[in-house]
Amino acid sequence: MSAKRIGMMSIRQLLKLKQLGHSNRSIHRLTGIHRNTVNEYVRMFNALETSYLAIEQMGDKELAELFTTSPPSRNERYKILSGYFTYFHQELKKTGCTRLVLWKEYQNKHPGGYSYTQFNEHYNRWLKRVDGSGKLIHKAGDKLYVDYCGKKLSYIDKETGLIIETEVFVGVLPCSGYTFVEASRSQRRPDFIESMNNCLEFLGGVPQSIVPDNLKAAVTKGCKYEPVLNKTFADFGLHYGCSINPTRTYSPQDKALVENAVKLVYQRIFYPLSKQQFFSLEELNQQISCMLEQYNDQLLSYIKLSRRQQFEQTEQAELGALPATPYELRTYKKATVQKMGHILLSEDKHYYSVPHRYIGKKVEVQYNSKTVEIYHNNERIATHKRDYRPSRYSTTAEHMSSAHQFYNDWSPDFFIHKACKYGPYVEKYISGLLDQATYPETAYKQCMGVLQLAKDYSSGRLAAACKRAMNAPRFSYHTVREILKNKVDQQPDLFTQQSSSIPPHSNIRGKDYYDK
């Protein structure tokens, strides 16, 4: 907090009490001057490196100039020091650089310059005017802040004429202010990961840490001290070799920088785009890219450098290398290994085998667009190429063991023996199901399903349905169930009628008609 201006008499009284050994808190209590103001004037006095006696001998005008909250711009020594402030600001972003190192460098060039205390005092004043607080010095390549704008952009769907609103992703490197902006369809995890990939590709490297706000696509559970990341975003960090460090809840200072960047994006990108029409997301992002280039190239008045220049000079070399391929979205789900030794990936309705000893166990399924991996207690127990065909089985031969104790009585003979009780058509259909499967075990569940239909519809109807289902191109539990459900088994079977002759009819001409 800046010092509130007080009169010369109050300043003299404040300093006199300080000379007598009173604490800042005591001076506040005795004089009624706000404690922050007391703290600020005492700090300025200490930075002046002068005595209380010298202060007492000064006139009010001289004292007012000495304790002004603005830098003594007419002072030649200050002008020399202030000429280095932009250079100091850039150097302090580099790893290992400290103010003490920079002060020694300044002293070597100007032996009669300010002491270290005054050096810090004047630099802090300048810094407050630059970043508004003077508290944070961001190191090059250290962090990348990411968030979504509260407002949205839009484009017009050519086919329907509807206005489609889009989310706007923003990523900013706090050291240089170098910014990435992209419109996306939503804030859902797939779109968020795609924007993160594009952001790092745009930067050409990887920071040490990514700092998202507590987005649902990034954080499973927010916490002031240790937010819980979702597994996909944690895996993203592992892929790129960086840490994920979400902003703390109820800590607005963590979000100030990216929120300030969002405000500038509203001014420099949103407003100009509001005067234009776009007819696809790609077209919108193409124009954002053009305006973003201008935004990053704009000269910043306080340091006479653009965001791009700062990035190229101090930050680009500090970023880690990008991996050979971008991160591919990975999904995590829980599953139970079924009795026939497979798990069901519900998204595709496809089955994948695991070693038979895990039957009945709870496992974790991790998958992307190409691969399905199955883990038990953090150990990978199976890997499969992803297959999007529903109701199919991906089976590894080594996983199957028909004679193993975990299968108990389940075997081809077991199901054929049970089918015999319902007649030859059911027995034949169950045999066809087993013969059709690459591994008999993969058909066990369907066989059990077919036999269970007798409880719902009767043995006679099941036999009739299996007889009808023999005409289908493929044996399937679903075929038999649909026949029973729609009562097709109770309708005449035109395909199996013995008589193929046409009954006599008065309108039939006969072969003699065509001999005429």
**Where is the domain boundary, 77, 99, 131?**
131
Q: Is residue 502 part of a domain?
A: no
Q: Is residue 260 part of a domain?
A: yes
312 and 339 co-located in one domain: no
114 and 190 co-located in one domain: no
Cα distance between residue 395 and residue 473, in whole Å:
23
Q: Which of 197, 156, 204, 181 is nearest to 287 (CA)?
A: 181
Instruction: Report the percentage of the chain scoring pLDDT > 90.
Output: 31
DSSP string computed for 325-363: S-----EEEEEE--TTSEEEETTTTEEEE--GGGTT-EE
Q: What is the CATH number of the domain that holds 180?
A: 3.30.420.10
Q: Is residue 386 part of a domain?
A: yes
Tokens of 53: 């006696």
286 and 160 co-located in one domain: yes
pLDDT reported for residue 144: 92
pLDDT at position 75 over 70: no
160 and 278 co-located in one domain: yes
pLDDT at position 440 over 90: no
Q: Is residue 88 part of a domain?
A: yes
Cβ atoms within 10 Å of 142's Cβ, excluding its own: 18
Confidence of residue 64 (pLDDT cuts 50, 70, 90): confident
358 and 452 co-located in one domain: no
What mean pLDDT is predicted for residues 244-270? 71
Q: Is residue 512 part of a domain?
A: no
Instruction: Report the percentage of the chain scoring pLDDT > 70.
Output: 80
Cα distance between residue 486 and residue 468, in whole Å:
13
pLDDT reported for residue 401: 67
46 and 107 co-located in one domain: yes
Q: Which of 197, 196, 202, 253 is nearest to 224 (CA)?
A: 253
307 and 173 co-located in one domain: yes
pLDDT reported for residue 87: 81
Confidence of residue 372 (pLDDT cuts 50, 70, 90): very high
Determine which of 132-141, 408-417, 438-447 has the lowest per-residue pLDDT on average.
Answer: 132-141
pLDDT at position 212 over 90: no
pLDDT at position 54 over 50: yes
Confidence of residue 419 (pLDDT cuts 50, 70, 90): very high
282 and 249 co-located in one domain: yes
**Where is the domain boundary, 289, 318, 347?**
318
Residue-wise pLDDT for 469-496, tens only, equals 998 888 999 999 999 999 888 887 665 5
Domain hosting residue 398, numbered range: 331-404
Average pLDDT, the chain: 81
SS3 178: coil
Which residue stretches of 378-436 are H helix?
A: 412-420, 424-436
- Kindly report the pTM of this predicted structure: 0.53
Determine which of 197-211, 222-236, 329-343 has the lowest per-residue pLDDT on average.
Answer: 222-236
pLDDT at position 34 over 70: yes
What mean pLDDT is predicted for residues 114-126? 79
pLDDT at position 121 over 70: yes
pLDDT at position 84 over 50: yes
Q: Is residue 516 part of a domain?
A: no
Cα distance between residue 352 and residue 346, in whole Å:
11
Residue-wise pLDDT for 489-507, tens only, equals 888 766 554 444 455 555 5
What mean pLDDT is predicted for residues 282-295? 94
What mean pLDDT is predicted for residues 151-175? 90
Confidence of residue 285 (pLDDT cuts 50, 70, 90): very high
211 and 86 co-located in one domain: no
User: In sequence order, what are the residues at sequence separation of 6 or more whose Cβ sits closer than 8 angstroms to the Cβ of residue 109?
Assistant: none
pLDDT reported for residue 72: 46
pLDDT reported for residue 74: 44
Cα distance between residue 318 and residue 224, in whole Å:
29
Domain count, the chain: 4
pLDDT at position 68 over 80: no
pLDDT reported for residue 337: 93
Residue-wise pLDDT for 184-204, tens only, equals 999 888 899 999 999 999 999
Q: Is residue 507 part of a domain?
A: no
Beta bridge partners, 422, equal none
266 and 297 co-located in one domain: yes
Count Cβ atoms within 10 A of the Cβ of residue 173 and give its class: 0-12 exposed, 13-18 middle, 19 or more buried: buried
Cα distance between residue 218 and residue 406, in whole Å:
41
pLDDT at position 416 over 50: yes
pLDDT reported for residue 134: 43
165 and 265 co-located in one domain: yes
175 and 312 co-located in one domain: yes
pLDDT at position 353 over 50: yes
Cα distance between residue 100 and residue 98, in whole Å:
5
